[in-house]
Amino acid sequence: MSSEETVQTIIRKAKDILAKQSAEDFLSYVESKTSELEKSDEILESIILWQFVAETMENFEEDDYLAYAYSKLISRYMLIDNISKAEEIYKESEDKDLSSFHLDTVKTIFAGRQQIKGNREIIKIYRMDVFGDLELIPASPNTYFENVSLIRRYVHNNLAEGTFSVIILNHKNNTEEEIEISTETLSEYEVISMNEKVRMN
């Protein structure tokens, strides 16, 4: 059977699974087949199949699966060094506002290679003292990040030891998020904790 026939057979079977079973089974089937193809270096065939998954899932309005297919497409185009196609899919995923663990990972790799500006920007950093009180510290790195892990890495590399509350502006949807990051070396303790609030005369 030629590669083209193989792909067409897989697509027919996948459509059948989607009609009779679930989107999950459909994805699982295509994934197992693309994995087999990739093991014999048939990356282009794998790309055709992921393109088919993306189109199908778009019609089904299954954003998680669509994001997964996009992550596969970006990474597979990168594998064959077709950067312009990878960038096209990257931008499409941005326009569609897709996000998932896999897609974020792949987009970070791609953005790293192409030095694309990320969406997240640190706008405020607070340092936490021993009482849990927050104090604003100077921070306007004006640096953009692709995902939260990268922000963690930035804080670890650039701030002194401490626990910080970092406010991030996501330029994509103009929302703010807050993450707590500790750059201290932590040890495991059995903590006996007493908290009291008292009134003074």
Nearest to other proteins of 142, 187 (CB atom): 187
Contacts of 122 (CB under 8 A, 6+ apart): 139, 141, 143, 145, 151, 154, 166, 167, 168
16 binds other proteins (CB under 8 A): no
Of the candidate residues 5, 61, 81, 196, the single one contacting other proteins (CB under 8 A)? 196
Choose, by CB under 8 A, the member of 2, 95, 131, 175 that binds other proteins.
131
| x-or-dash string of contact with other proteins, 27-46, rule CB under 8 A | -x------x--xx-x-x---
CA–CA separation, 31 and 48 (whole Å)? 12
Instruction: Among 4, 97, 129, 178, indicate the residue that binds other proteins (CB under 8 A).
Output: 129
The residues facing 179 across adjacent strands are 166
Taking contact as CB under 8 A, which single stretch among the options 4-12, 71-79, 91-99, 167-175 is the one that binds other proteins? 71-79
User: 68 vs 139, which CB is nearer to other proteins?
Assistant: 68
Q: What SS3 class is residue 129?
A: coil
- The answer to whether 184 and 161 have CB atoms below 8 angstroms apart is yes
Applying CB under 8 A, among 1, 19, 160, 200 the residue interacting with other proteins is 200
Separation CA 17–CA 79 (nearest Å): 29
Residue pair 45/3 in contact (Cβ under 8 Å)? The answer is: yes
Please select the residue that binds other proteins; options are 17, 66, 67, 150, rule is CB under 8 A: 150
